[in-house]
Amino acid sequence: MTKHDLLQHLADAGQADAMDIANTFGITYPAAGMALLRLARQGLVHRYVDADDGLYYCELSERGHARLRFFQTHSESEGGR
């Protein structure tokens, strides 16, 4: 799972929690949680707690969308990922 993969999944899904990331990419829950936390610390996602279930959810920030566009443009100019 690359940063590009994770950003693309969040763009496609709209929002995700660590369990969704773990299941999608076949990684452990702690690894997924840390990956999302790293993105939040980089300003690429907004992280919030759902008051009903107490889970943290993430969605792409404007900076995250910009980074994803960069990855897409860069990979297209190189002929793929």
Neighbours of 18 (CB within 10 A): 22
CATH of the domain at 10: 1.10.10.10
Bridge partners (DSSP) of residue 54 are none
Average pLDDT, the chain: 93
Token pair in block for residue 67: 């980074």
Alpha-carbon distance of 28 to 49, in angstroms, equals: 20
The H or E element containing residue 73 is helix 62-77
Domain total for the chain?
A: 1
Least confident of 56-60, 62-66, 71-75: 71-75
Q: What is the pTM of this model?
A: 0.85
- On the question of pLDDT at 70 being above 70, the answer is yes
Range of the domain at 56: 3-77
Between CA 25 and CA 22 the distance in angstroms is 6
Q: pLDDT band for position 80 (50/70/90)? A: low
